[in-house]
Amino acid sequence: MGFKLTAQEGQRLTTCMLAMRPDWTKNNPGQMLASINDGPGFPGKDFEHALRALAQYATARGGNGAHQYRTPEIYPREGKHWTDTGTADWTPPKPAPCPDHIGEPAHACRCCHADVKAGIRPAERIGKHYEPESEEEE
């Protein structure tokens, strides 16, 4: 779903991260970025987008003047720092849709949750196709 960094881009991103936030050295961001890269990937377009998102994320200040993010943990997740810094030709990744309910994301489908409450869908079928067993079938 997300994009992947090359090994060199990963090293450069880690270097940039630590240049902006030396206090993150203890969070071992290189390892964190590598595990995201090996897994879901990043919710952006390319390496430059990752740099822009990083600059916004790493330098964001809260209302009290302190850094908004104390660790790099949330950086690889979807959020404003990615959506604000995307280019015009980039569309934020959409969450996978619920196969049973048009317009609902599978991971948080309101219709599936309502079905579970009503007892007509097992909880483990939230966001997954479910066909209740019908007595009319043979």
DSSP code at position 53: H
| Residue 121 in the binding site for Zn ion (CB under 5 A) | no
> Judged by CB, which is closer to Zn ion: 74, or 96?
96
Shortest distance, CB of residue 40 to Zn ion, whole angstroms? Answer: 22
| Nearest residue to 33 (alpha-carbon basis) of 20, 45, 19, 16 | 16
Number of residues in contact with Zn ion under rule CB under 5 A: 6
State how far the Cα of 18 lies from the Cα of 99, in Å rounded to an integer.
Answer: 42
CB distance 119 to 87 below 8 Å = no
| Residue 116 in the binding site for Zn ion (CB under 5 A) | no
| Residue 33 in the binding site for Zn ion (CB under 5 A) | no
- Choice from 20, 51, 111, 116 touching Zn ion (CB under 5 A): 111
> Judged by CB, which is closer to Zn ion: 86, or 97?
97
Residues engaged in binding Zn ion (CB under 5 A): 98, 100-101, 109, 111-112
